[in-house]
Amino acid sequence: MTPDSTPPAPLLPRVAAGDPTAVRECLARYGGLVLALARRFLGNATDAEDVTQDVFVELWKHAARFDPACASEPTFVTMITRRRLIDHKRRAGRRLSPEPLPEAVPERSNPSLFAEVDGRDDVARARLALGELRDDQRNVILLAVDDGLTHEQIAERTGLPVGTVKTHIRRGLLRVRELLTGPAAIGRASA
Amino acid sequence: MTSEPAIPDRLNDLLADRATVGLTAAEADELSTLLTRWPHVDPNEFDRAAAALSLAGDPDPVPVPPDLMAKLEAAAAAHFARPAEPRRPRRAVVYWAVGGWACAAALLVGLLHLQFGRTAPTVAQKRDRLAADPTAARYASAAKPDAAAGNVVFSAAKQEGYMELRGMTPNDPTKSQYQLWVVDTGRPFKEPVDGGVFDVNPDGTALVPVRSPLTLKAPAVFAVTVEPPGGVVVSEGGKEGRFVVAMTPAGAP
């Protein structure tokens, strides 16, 4: 396997057609990713497994909606995962666990095997956007996106006013959105 | 000269909040209203941006525990279930169609019960008898605190089986019922066999026979889902809480 290898063929179109082999491959390809995201976001292994089951039911249900022109397959899977995680956290009314799982706080440094596998442009652009942000802005948006902290929790942790936290998150998302959708930015991102 | 109106900050705020911390019901309503006023806005762009950021953080996949993978596969089987051959329509339809015969049958069952009820073995007794058969296979759900659990004893030779559940949420049969599905070896993964519809006792338990219209060779998974009253021929899947519990061969990893 090489880092710049061609991304694996999407599975969701075959899943939408009810291909049992694709369903198994999808579980094998994304099961570990979904569980990792859930553990980090929820900080609770049991809840993470429960939500993982919900995520895949949602994925089977919405597989036909996957459009490679809008996002890579891992991004689509992650988007569905995040929606379920946010929904679960809101309904549970939970706050960040004071003792997060050790594996829920992975290093953000080395490119992961998963990143190498599919060579996703949208993720590269997101990294580019993160690189443009100041450290405090980057920290705020990652606390929100990766750890699922509320504005108030981020404010408490960083010492920033809640309004500033909201601004950092919105600006960060806007910049990523620009890079994901704007043709000029795409050229810049791939440069 | 016409141009698209500028997107208000409030709309971006709500989209950003939805993609990161979620919205209250009032905020969701407000977002819907704003989106109808700015139909050119792609409501999913912030969600995609947040997803890309999640992946940009290099989340290393973690191994999926075998019991969780079994549940995921069972839930997938239930979702993609379709009839292996024409089967019964929903029971509600049957009731309407054969109401008169049902009344007569009920009377007959009542009379038979009066005459033979005291000597006919109960489901529990039948299950215990089958459990004593060394050729019968045993299945169990993964041990998990505060979750539904179950076990199955099944004999392929006798085509007889029983499932016992505990820790279930009692159902209102007028609103929903539980349905058993059997993923059988040699049959396509997406074609689990309907194992019957049942209700859960008020104490959260159930002991029911496996009712399969087809011959089961070597079941790999017994899975329970929540379905509309009367069960379904094809599980639609997707609804929250539809999949409940799965039982795999006892002792299997």
Q: Where are the domains of chain A?
A: 11-97, 120-191
The region of weakest confidence among A66-80, A81-95, B99-113 is B99-113
Could you give the C-alpha distances from A145 to A136, B41, B65, in angstroms and in order?
A: 14, 22, 25
Please answer yes or no on whether A141 and B64 come within 8 Å at the CB atom.
no
Is residue B33 one of the residues assigned to a domain?
A: yes
Q: Measure B236 CA to nearest chain A CA, in Å.
A: 9
Partner residues linked to B225 by β-bridges: B179, B243
C-alpha to C-alpha distance for B1 and A181, rounded to whole angstroms: 25
Q: Work out the percent of chain B whose per-residue pLDDT is above 90.
A: 19
Instruction: Give the dihedral of Cα atoms A188, A189, A190, B3; nearest 10 deg.
Output: -60
CB of A181 within 8 Å of a chain B CB? The answer is: yes
Q: Which two tokens mark B210?
A: 């496996």
Same domain? For B14 and B79 the reply is no
Tell me which of A111 and A84 has the higher pLDDT.
Answer: A84
Domain that holds residue B191: 66-83+122-249
Question: Rounded to whole angstroms, what are the CA distances from B1 to A87, B4?
Answer: 43, 10
Shared domain for B145 and B191, answered yes or no, is: yes
- Residue of B209, B240, B233 lying closest to B222 (CA atoms): B209
Which residues, other chains included, contact B102 with Cβ-Cβ below 8 Å and sequence gap of 6+?
A: B94, B95
Report if residue B100 sits inside a domain.
Answer: no
Q: Residue B137 has what pLDDT?
A: 92
The mean pLDDT of B225-234, rounded to a whole number, is 79
DSSP, collapsed to helix, strand or coil, labels residue B244 as: strand
DSSP letter (8 states) at residue A96 = -
Nearest to B77 by CA among B239, B212, B246: B246
Nearest-angstrom CA–CA distance, B25 and B32? 11
Q: What is the pLDDT of residues B54-77, one digit of tens each?
A: 988 777 888 999 889 988 988 888
The answer to whether A142 contacts B53, with C-beta atoms less than 8 Å apart, is: yes
Interchain contact, B73 vs A83, CB within 8 Å:
no
Assess if residue B4 is contained within a domain: no
> Does the beta-carbon distance from B20 to A169 stay under 8 Å?
yes
How far off is chain A from B120, nearest CA to CA, in Å? 41
- ipTM over 0.90? The verdict is no
Predicted confidence band at B164 (pLDDT cuts at 50, 70, 90)?
Answer: very high
pLDDT band at B127 (very low <50, low <70, confident <90, very high): very high
Which of B234, B167, B72, B57 has the alpha carbon at shortest distance from A55?
B72
| CATH ID of A120-191, from 3.10.450.50, 3.40.50.300, 1.10.1660.10, 1.10.10.10 | 1.10.10.10
Asked if residue B166 is part of any domain, the answer here is: yes
Q: How far is B233 from chain A (nearest CA, A)?
A: 16
Smallest Cβ distance to A177: which of B49, B60, B189? Answer: B49
To the nearest whole number, what is the mean pLDDT of chain B? Answer: 78
Across the interface, whether the CB atoms of B51 and A53 are under 8 A apart is answered no
- Is pTM beyond 0.80? Reply is no
Question: B111 in a domain, yes or no?
Answer: no
Sort out which chain A residues have CB atoms less than 8 A from B16's CB and list them: 166, 169-170, 173-174
Q: Does A106 touch chain B (CB under 8 A)?
A: yes
One-letter amino acid of B5: P
* Closest by Cα among A33, A26, A75, A83 to A54: A83
Q: Average of pLDDT values for A152-163? A: 92
Pick the CATH number of A11-97 from 3.55.50.30, 2.60.40.10, 3.90.740.10, 1.10.1740.10: 1.10.1740.10
Q: Are residues B163 and B199 in the same domain?
A: yes
Yes or no: say if B168 and B141 are a contact pair by the CB < 8 Å rule. Answer: no
Structure tokens at A155: 């404010």
* Beta-strand relationship, B243-249 and B137-140: antiparallel
